[in-house]
């Protein structure tokens, strides 16, 4: 089951889910709009390596916006800190943003129960597109979980700002894999 807008509002007020800051005007019939934060991360090297941390550079989105270029992956973040210990959040790009040729969160829309923080957004434009901090970029839907819950306690917990991939932390070191 998916939470309706009125139920999102009620759950945010009684603590079953957390959205901070919460703005009633961002509640939709069955989702909550989230806004783009002011910082982007861009990987600094042309080739990324899944077995090690990859260097990044920060880009601040000024009042004039920032032009996203095709062929470049941008890691943005939500202004809002979103999470729940009982509902499953899913984040999707807003259709209005998709109609501008910006792919948002194509591969990882699901949030784990128990995650609380700003969401990192994977932004991929198909043509140059100027974006602005604070623009409505996505929407979060909340689903009812069935069965026992094990809250998220992973490496991205309490995220603040965009987070580069920490996939390399999950890999077995080559020296241990060979034995």
The CATH number covering residue 131 comes to 2.70.40.10
- Tracing tokens 């995650």 back to the chain, one arrives at 115
Q: How far apart, in whole angstroms, are the C-alpha atoms of residue 44 and residue 57? A: 6
Q: What is the pLDDT of residues 105-130, one digit of tens each?
A: 867 788 999 999 999 999 999 999 99
What is the value of pTM for the model shown? 0.91
Measured in whole angstroms, how far is the alpha carbon of residue 108 from the centre of its chain?
8
Tokens of 144: 């009812």
Q: How far apart, in whole angstroms, are the C-alpha atoms of residue 111 and residue 54? A: 23
Q: What is the pLDDT of residues 25-75, one digit of tens each?
A: 999 999 999 999 999 999 999 999 999 999 999 999 999 999 999 999 999
Q: Is residue 116 part of a domain?
A: yes
- Tracing tokens 């910082």 back to the chain, one arrives at 39
Q: Is residue 167 part of a domain?
A: no
Question: Is 25 in a helix, a strand, or coil?
Answer: helix
Q: Is residue 20 part of a domain?
A: yes
φ, ψ for residue 167 (rounded to 5)? -55, -40
Q: What is the pLDDT of residue 158?
A: 87
* Positive/negative CA dihedral, 119, 124, 125, 130: positive
Q: Is residue 160 part of a domain?
A: no
Q: How far apart, in whole angstroms, are the C-alpha atoms of residue 18 and residue 20? A: 6
Secondary structure element (H or E) that encloses residue 129, with its range: strand 129-131
Q: What is the pLDDT of residue 179?
A: 44
Tally of structural domains, the chain:
1
Q: Is residue 75 part of a domain?
A: yes
Q: How far apart, in whole angstroms, are the C-alpha atoms of residue 42 and residue 58? A: 7
Q: State the residue range of the domain holding 142.
A: 5-45+54-147
Q: Is residue 126 part of a domain?
A: yes
Q: Is residue 178 part of a domain?
A: no
Question: Is 89 in a helix, a strand, or coil?
Answer: strand
């Amino acid at each position: 089951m998916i939470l309706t807008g009125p139920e999102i509002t009620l759950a945010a007020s009684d603590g079953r889910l957390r959205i901070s800051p919460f703005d009633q005007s961002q509640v939709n019939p069955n989702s909550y709009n989230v806004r783009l934060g002011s910082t982007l991360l861009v990987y600094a090297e042309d080739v990324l390596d899944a077995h090690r941390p990859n260097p990044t550079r920060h880009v601040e989105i000024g009042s004039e916006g920032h032009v996203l270029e095709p062929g470049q992956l941008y890691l943005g973040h939500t202004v809002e800190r979103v999470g729940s210990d009982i509902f499953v959040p899913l984040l999707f790009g807003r259709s209005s943003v998709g109609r501008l040729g910006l792919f948002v969160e194509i591969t990882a829309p699901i949030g784990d129960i128990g995650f609380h923080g700003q969401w990192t957004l994977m932004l991929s434009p198909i043509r140059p597109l100027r974006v602005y901090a604070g623009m409505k970029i996505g929407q979060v839907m909340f689903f009812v979980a069935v069965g026992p819950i094990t809250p998220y306690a992973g490496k991205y917990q309490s995220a603040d700002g965009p987070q580069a991939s920490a996939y390399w932390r999950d890999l077995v070191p080559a020296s241990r894999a060979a034995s």
